[in-house]
Structure formats: structure tokens, C-alpha cells
Amino acid sequence: MKKGKIFVVGFGPGATEHITGRALEALQESNYIIGYKTYVELIKHLVTAKSIVSTGMTEEVSRAQDAVKKAEAGGIVSVISSGDSGAYGMAGLVYEVLIEKGWTEAEGIEVEIVPGISAINSCASLLGAPVMHDSCTISLSDHLTPWTVIEKRIEAAGMADFVIALYNPKSGRRTRQIVEAQNILLKYRSPDTPVGLVKSAYRENQHIVLTTLSEMLDHDIGMLTTVIIGNSSTFFYDNKIITPRGYQRKYTLGEGKQSLKPHQRLKKEAEPWALDQETGEAKSGYEEILRKAPEQAPVQQQEQKVQSMDMALKALSMVSKEEVENPFLVRQPIENIFEFSVSPGVANKMITAEQMLVLAEVVGEKGTLEYTPDHHFIVKVTTDNPEAMVVKLEKEHLTVMPTGEVLKVKACDFCYGEKADSIPYAEEIAAKFEGMKLPKQLHVGFNGCGMACYRPVFDDIGIVYRKKKFDLFIGAKPVGRTAHAGQPIAEGIEPEDLIPLVTRIIEEYEQNAHPNERFFKYFKRVKKVLNYDYYDMSCKIEVEPAPCGD
């Protein structure tokens, strides 16, 4: 006898555009469609199956049994679930029925689980971006799960600062669970925590409410609602709920030669969620939106319902005459990581014990210190006072520079100072350009004699001091398997002409290169820098490209 097949199809939130191609194929290939009647209604127009079996909500087991029976008789059957078939859907149940009958993949009927867009994803998309970070789904239905287990999961998720999507939050008969869930979460999360209520996402009666943890119960929540609760850094912005990607922001020293006010140059416009970077603590976006445009606030801040925890804390503080902090409250403030680069200096390669001690002190137990291929230490630390840190390091004669797409100067050790003639030029170049913001990191290499032992010829701009004059190389490709040296563009440059010439090259690159375009790529593209023509210095043998990691 011909064996049939069961598809367990998640058809997404409801709208045809959100059904996957595979789900549609499965529905159209099937002779039978089996599902809860509301769902069957949603997809009926898409199928031609000879039999559509719609059953009541509580008849899930009989639906699965029916599907297995029909497939065993040779039918192609689609059992449908809204959202994803594997998330509180029919997939597990179909397998359970099959297992009871001793089914195995090798011997039994074919089973294909067709995934779909689950409510957490469809609802999140309508709210903005609330699920950007670690999240979980919790079903509040205690129909098949004891409430004590559900309670523990809410507690754990609250404690661990997960973004939470509550499925099956409330029904006509089940009204207590959502109240208890709110109470548990208020122990760990601020009453202002953004909450989104999405009812019937991508269906006809779609309804979206932006509210807060303390006020969410003032709104209609039902069987068709998913409740999305933000984590401790989630905020409102322009009628959207947004959770930052992480709890850390990086910043470095400013452009050009730093005047050491890095936090003033933090790019707020690039990271609109970091609303209060100066203090390191993001302000509640809700407060911010109220301040900017009270009428935009999704919920009016009327008399706030006083939560029981609040009351308890207030009572406690009255007795003790001091403000009592909620000991459970999870606050995961946005951490600002100050990132910068340190070196013992452009001509100096020695690092003293005192310098190491100061560096160790600055890095502390939580910071990191990383040595780079271009002879710098990258320091990453959290600090309230980046300026003091820089002052401390500079006092020990360490050079502090920004990280990122900036100009870096590397010089030889001038044979430990024995070939000192050209050191002032190296220092002048460093003083003038180091840390300058550019389309991409640019390395200037400087060598104090014709041995060129620090390989300036392999830097974007290479300068070699020889017989009291300078030779200049540009356009090296320093990395990759097709690496090559730069091309010599000028020899015997008079010392007074060197810095003006280098300045013009850097300025041309700064003004004309595309963002992220390395110097050698720029040179290859435009074929001319100043009046120096480009020559192809690359190896002529074909080498297969190998991106990082391959």
C-alpha cells in the first residue's frame, strides 16, 4: 500500500504574504487539510484539497490522530498551526501520536515539519525591534503545564533580564495568570519597562498597544494577544519599542590630535538609543518621549497604580526613614567602553616597568589589553573619567591615540637612537597626523636609514631616510596572499619638502577615497595620486581569493 505523508505546516501570523513558499506548496499538494476552524478559515482560499477538516480548539489530539490515520491510508495531509508549527503548535503532538504507534522514520509514513513565522517575530516586527537581545517565550496557559512551573520560568526570565514574549496570556476563564506574571516581573523590572500588546498580528483585527509593565493590565489582553516585555535597557522611541543590541557601547578619542574630551564627541546621532551616554546609564526611553512630546506617549501617565511591591518598599522606608532600594531589581545599565591605543612613542620601542605598572592600573581587573600587529596596545576599559586616564598615561610618556579608522605612524628604533638625525621628522609626522580620522586605517611607516628594516615599504605610505634625504613609497598591499610592496614614487626628497608632500597625499586620500577604501585600493582605482601614476606591483600569478577564516 502506498504510504502517505503528513506536513505539519506553520502558516505564519495570518496574512498570505507571510506564508512561506514551502508552506504554500505543502498546503497545495495536500488532499486533506486539518486544523482549528479559525485557522482553516484563514488559509482556505489558498487550497484546493478535497477535504478540509476543521475542528474545535480543544480537539488537538483527535486532529493529530485523524491526520495519522489519513496518511496511513495513503493520503497527503497538512496539519496546520498558526505561526510556527513547532512553537506551541501541532508538530510535537503529531510525533507523539506516531510514537505511540511505534512509528520510525525509516519504516513509517513521511513527516515534514514546515516552519513558519512565530508570533514573537511577527508581533515584534509591528512594535519596532523589541526582541534584539536574548529573549524567551512563556505560555501562560496552565491547561497542560502546572502554574508552579510557569511561575518559576517567569521568575527566572525576570531575574535574567530576558526580553519576554507571553503567549496565551489570558482567556475568558483564565484571567489570573497575567496579573501574577506582572507581579513577579515587577520584582525585577522597573514599572516603566516598555511593553507591547499585539492582538491578531497581520490579521484583519490587528491591534497594537504600547504600554508599560505597570500599566499593561489597563488594556485589553486576550487569547489572540502576544505580550512582549522589554529588558532593562529597552526603550520607546517614536511609537516604537526598541531593545539595544547589547549592553555596551564603544567609543574612542576624538578626531585629529585629541583635545581629550572623548565623551563630547560620542556620536549620539549614530546610536540614538544611547540617550544619556555621559553617565553610562540609558534613561528610560519612556521618560524621554514624555519629555519631548507628551502627546506621543503611548499611555498617559495618569495616577500610577501603586504596585504592591512599591507599597511594601514605601512602608519599609517610612519605618527605617531611609529610601529602601528594591533588592531584586535588575538594572543592567548601558556600559560605555572607552577604547584607545597606547604605545611607548613613535621612535621609542622600550617600555619601562613604571609604564607597565601604570598601564596595569588603568586596565584594572575588568579591562583588556591587546597587542596589535602595528606595535600598539589596544586598551578597553569602562571609566567615568577617560580624560584622567589619558593624563595618567601621558604623564608616564606613553602615547595615547584613538582606535578605528585613523592614521597610525610606525617608525624604526633608529638603532636605539644612534641614527637620530631623522627622529624629529618622524615625530613631526606623528604629531601632525596620528589619530587623524580617515576613510580607512592608514599606516605611515618611517625608517631612519636605507636598511628599511621596519618595513616601511610595506606600509600605505613608506618614508625612508637615506643620505640626509628621503625616499617615498606608496600603495603597498600589506596583507593577504597577494601582498606586495609599495611603489617608489620619489627619491632624494629634500627634508623641508617631505612633510608638505606627505600632507598633500594624505589630504587627497582623505577627501577622495570612498568610505572603507584602503589606500592601495584607492590608488588602483584612481590610477594617480598627486601626479604619481599607478603601477601594478602585484604578483602576476593568479591567486584564488581567500577571505578571512577560509
Residues that bind ligand SAH (CB under 6 A): 13-14, 81-84, 87-89, 118-119, 122-123, 167-168, 198-201, 203, 223-226
- In terms of CB distance, is 86 or 256 closer to ligand SAH? 86
Measure the CA–CA gap between 406 and 229, rounded to whole angstroms. Answer: 40
Record the cell numbers describing residue 504, joined without a space. 598633500
Q: Which residues of 485-519 are buried (b: 16+ CB within 10 A; e: fewer)?
A: bbbbbbeebeeeebbebbeebbeebeeebeeebbb
- In terms of CB distance, is 7 or 509 closer to ligand SAH? 7
Q: In 189-303, which ranges are continuous DSSP H helix?
A: 285-292
Q: Smallest distance from the beta carbon of 114 to ligand SAH, in angstroms? A: 12
**Contact between 160 and 188 (Cβ < 8 Å):** no
129: number of Cβ within 10 Å: 17
Q: Smallest distance from the beta carbon of 91 to ligand SAH, in angstroms? A: 9
Using the 8-state DSSP alphabet, how is residue 434 labeled? T
- In terms of CB distance, is 193 or 226 closer to ligand SAH? 226
Q: Helix/strand/coil (H, E, C) string of 113-168?
A: EECCCCHHHHHHHHHEECCCCCEEEEECCCCCCCHHHHHHHHHHHHHCCCEEEEEC
Q: Smallest distance from the beta carbon of 221 to ligand SAH, in angstroms? A: 9
Q: In 200-292, which ranges are continuous DSSP H helix?
A: 285-292
Rg (CA), the chain: 32
- In terms of CB distance, is 123 or 442 closer to ligand SAH? 123
- In terms of CB distance, is 4 or 83 closer to ligand SAH? 83
- Residue for grid cell 497581520: 202
Using CB positions, name the residue nearest to ligand SAH: 83
- In terms of CB distance, is 230 or 404 closer to ligand SAH? 230
Using the 8-state DSSP alphabet, how is residue 74 labeled? T
Q: Smallest distance from the beta carbon of 12 to ligand SAH, in angstroms? A: 8
DSSP-derived 3-state class of residue 67: helix
Rounded to the nearest 10 degrees, the angle between the axes of helix 308-320 and helix 176-188 is 40
Q: Smallest distance from the beta carbon of 284 to ligand SAH, in angstroms? A: 26
Q: Smallest distance from the beta carbon of 241 to ligand SAH, in angstroms? A: 15
Q: Smallest distance from the beta carbon of 317 to ligand SAH, in angstroms? A: 38
Measure the CA–CA gap between 79 and 85, rounded to whole angstroms. Answer: 9
- Residue for grid cell 591587546: 370
Using the 8-state DSSP alphabet, how is residue 435 labeled? T
**Contact between 63 and 35 (Cβ < 8 Å):** yes
Q: Smallest distance from the beta carbon of 298 to ligand SAH, in angstroms? A: 18
- Residue for grid cell 577571505: 547
- For residue 7, what is the enclosing H or E element? strand 5-10
Q: Smallest distance from the beta carbon of 198 to ligand SAH, in angstroms? A: 5
Q: Smallest distance from the beta carbon of 150 to ligand SAH, in angstroms? A: 14
- In terms of CB distance, is 119 or 186 closer to ligand SAH? 119
- In terms of CB distance, is 40 or 330 closer to ligand SAH? 40
Q: Smallest distance from the beta carbon of 137 to ligand SAH, in angstroms? A: 8
- In terms of CB distance, is 47 or 123 closer to ligand SAH? 123
Q: Smallest distance from the beta carbon of 87 to ligand SAH, in angstroms? A: 4
- In terms of CB distance, is 52 or 198 closer to ligand SAH? 198
**Contact between 32 and 76 (Cβ < 8 Å):** yes
- In terms of CB distance, is 12 or 402 closer to ligand SAH? 12
Q: Smallest distance from the beta carbon of 430 to ligand SAH, in angstroms? A: 59
| Cβ-Cβ contacts under 8 Å for 168 (sequence gap 6 or more) | 88, 139, 140, 141, 174, 223
**Contact between 329 and 231 (Cβ < 8 Å):** no
- In terms of CB distance, is 85 or 258 closer to ligand SAH? 85
Record the cell numbers describing residue 43, joined without a space. 488559509
Residue 10, strand partner residues: 81
Which residue spans within 11-139 are E strands per DSSP?
32-36, 51-55, 76-81, 110-114, 128-129, 135-139
Measure the CA–CA gap between 378 and 403, rounded to whole angstroms. Answer: 8
Measure the CA–CA gap between 8 and 79, rounded to whole angstroms. Answer: 5
- In terms of CB distance, is 9 or 464 closer to ligand SAH? 9
Q: Smallest distance from the beta carbon of 25 to ligand SAH, in angstroms? A: 20
- In terms of CB distance, is 88 or 520 closer to ligand SAH? 88
Among the listed residues 183, 181, 272, the one whose alpha carbon sits nearest the alpha carbon of residue 235 = 272
